């Protein structure tokens, strides 16, 4: 099968298309013919081996995993002997972050606990856009943030992959949503359902008089002190991304029950919930750009610039 492989850390051009062995599904796994993949920040971080401390787990001198890619959608080609929930031909979507990556390939071997039937009314590309970003939004809002319909919620970075799902999910929970983005994306976040918008080039959500019960910060450019200043009494902030290692350390060391880092772990249960919400029309994947599989390095380079408007996807076959 064809796959994009990388043998040393570096920029997107480090990736090259190669012919590799098709994986065989183990007993508890499913072989998926990948029809589409989406790009995540994790892909370019892992490709570059950055931050440097991540190489302790990714491979000290060279990458342990040869094939990147965490989010996929496709068709079940074959199932392992222990699999009963899926059968050949099922249309599925999955996330491989906790299972050694491998999504940027024509076939992927996927454990059933990170696999679900895809939303029937959405394309493979739309389904591939969902897992990492939407589950991060769901877990940040739900697990840590304990979102309630009465909450005033602020999404920082509302126009990106995680943010575009977070705005819609927070609305689906019935919350009042303020979306922070730049001037050119104000209409986009309004169209996703935001009740209020803030242009970060002209306004600051900290110290502006409004306080929030829940902040989902997908940018990670604020201090813990700033986030606390923007929280209402008893409020919580979930931080999913960081603009520097110093910001990450600050949340780890000075955060607490109120301000916490969210490390998303995709589960089949969360994927099934998202599938239902999408089928019901309550959430819709916002696709920014579509690339051909052969142009995957360009897709990663685009995402790495940090100004995606929703998700970036690649059609695989």
User: Distance between CA 262 and CA 306 in Å, rounded?
Assistant: 19
CB of 88 to ligand NAP, least distance (A): 31
Counting every residue, how long is the chain?
Answer: 317
Assign 3-class secondary structure to 152-215.
Answer: EEEEECCCCHHHHHHHHHHHHCCCEEEEEECHHHHHHHHHCCCCEEEECCCCCCCCCCCCEEEE
Task: Pick the stretch among 50-58, 81-89, 225-233, 300-308 that binds ligand NAP (CB under 6 A).
Answer: 300-308
Q: Is 160 an interacting residue with respect to ligand NAP (CB under 6 A)? A: yes
Task: Pick the stretch among 6-14, 208-216, 278-286, 299-307 that binds ligand NAP (CB under 6 A).
Answer: 299-307
Q: Is 182 an interacting residue with respect to ligand NAP (CB under 6 A)? A: yes
Angle of the 41-48 helix axis to the 296-304 helix axis, nearest 10: 100
Task: Pick the stretch among 7-15, 27-35, 144-152, 259-267 that binds ligand NAP (CB under 6 A).
Answer: 259-267
Task: Pick the stretch among 84-92, 108-116, 119-127, 161-169 that binds ligand NAP (CB under 6 A).
Answer: 161-169
> Virtual CA dihedral for 277, 30, 100, 297, nearest 10 degrees?
-70
Q: Is 68 an interacting residue with respect to ligand NAP (CB under 6 A)? A: no
Q: Is 241 an interacting residue with respect to ligand NAP (CB under 6 A)? A: yes
Name the residue with tokens 């695989």.
Answer: 316
Name the residue with tokens 């040393």.
Answer: 8
Binding test (CB under 6 A) with ligand NAP, winner from 17, 26, 80, 200? 200
**CA neighbor of 230 nearest in space, from 140, 148, 152, 143:** 152
Task: Pick the stretch among 86-94, 132-140, 147-155, 279-287 that binds ligand NAP (CB under 6 A).
Answer: 132-140
Q: Assign residue 82 a region (left: φ > 0; alpha: ψ between -120 and 50; beta: otherwise).
A: alpha
Q: Is 215 an interacting residue with respect to ligand NAP (CB under 6 A)? A: no
Question: Which of 31, 303 has the CB closer to ligand NAP?
Answer: 303
Q: Is 12 an interacting residue with respect to ligand NAP (CB under 6 A)? A: no
User: Distance between CA 205 and CA 144 in Å, rounded?
Assistant: 21
CB of 161 to ligand NAP, least distance (A): 3
CB of 132 to ligand NAP, least distance (A): 5
- Residues 6 or more apart whose CB falls under 8 angstroms from that of 65 comprise 46, 58, 59, 100, 101, 102
Q: Is 44 an interacting residue with respect to ligand NAP (CB under 6 A)? A: no
Question: Which of 43, 90 has the CB closer to ligand NAP?
Answer: 43
Q: Is 218 an interacting residue with respect to ligand NAP (CB under 6 A)? A: yes
Binding test (CB under 6 A) with ligand NAP, winner from 264, 283, 296, 299? 264
Phi, psi of 122 (to 5 degrees): -125, 150
Q: What are the residues binding ligand NAP (CB under 6 A)?
A: 40-41, 132-133, 136, 156-157, 159-163, 180-182, 185, 200, 218-219, 221, 240-241, 262-264, 303, 306-308
């Amino acid at each position: 099968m064809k796959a994009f492989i990388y043998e040393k850390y570096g920029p997107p051009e480090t990736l090259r298309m190669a012919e590799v062995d098709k994986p065989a599904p183990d007993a508890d796994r499913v072989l998926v013919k990948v029809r589409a993949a989406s790009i995540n920040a994790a892909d370019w971080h892992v490709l570059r081996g950055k931050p440097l401390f991540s190489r302790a787990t990714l491979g000290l001198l060279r990458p342990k995993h040869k094939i990147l890619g965490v989010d996929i959608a496709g068709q079940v080609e074959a199932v392992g002997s222990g699999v009963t929930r899926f059968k050949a031909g099922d249309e599925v979507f999955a996330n491989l972050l906790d299972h050694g990556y491998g999504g940027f390939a024509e076939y992927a071997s996927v454990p059933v606990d990170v696999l679900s039937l895809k939303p029937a009314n959405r394309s493979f590309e739309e389904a591939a856009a969902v897992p990492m970003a939407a589950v991060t939004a769901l877990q940040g809002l739900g697990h840590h943030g304990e979102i309630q319909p009465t909450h005033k919620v602020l999404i920082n970075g509302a126009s990106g992959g995680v943010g575009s799902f977070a705005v819609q999910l927070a609305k689906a929970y019935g919350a009042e949503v303020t979306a922070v983005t730049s001037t050119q994306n104000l209409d986009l976040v309004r169209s996703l359902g935001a009740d209020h918008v803030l242009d970060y080039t002209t306004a600051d959500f900290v110290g502006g008089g409004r306080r929030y019960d829940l902040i989902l910060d997908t940018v990670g450019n604020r201090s813990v002190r700033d986030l606390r200043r923007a929280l209402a009494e008893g409020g919580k902030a979930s931080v999913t991304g960081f603009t520097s290692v110093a910001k990450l350390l600050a949340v780890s060391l000075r955060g607490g029950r109120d301000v916490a880092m969210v490390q998303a772990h995709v589960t089949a249960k969360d994927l099934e919930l998202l599938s239902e919400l999408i089928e019901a029309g309550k959430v819709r994947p916002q696709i920014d750009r579509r690339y051909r599989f052969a142009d995957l390095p360009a897709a990663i380079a685009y995402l790495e610039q940090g100004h995606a408007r929703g998700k970036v996807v690649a059609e695989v076959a």
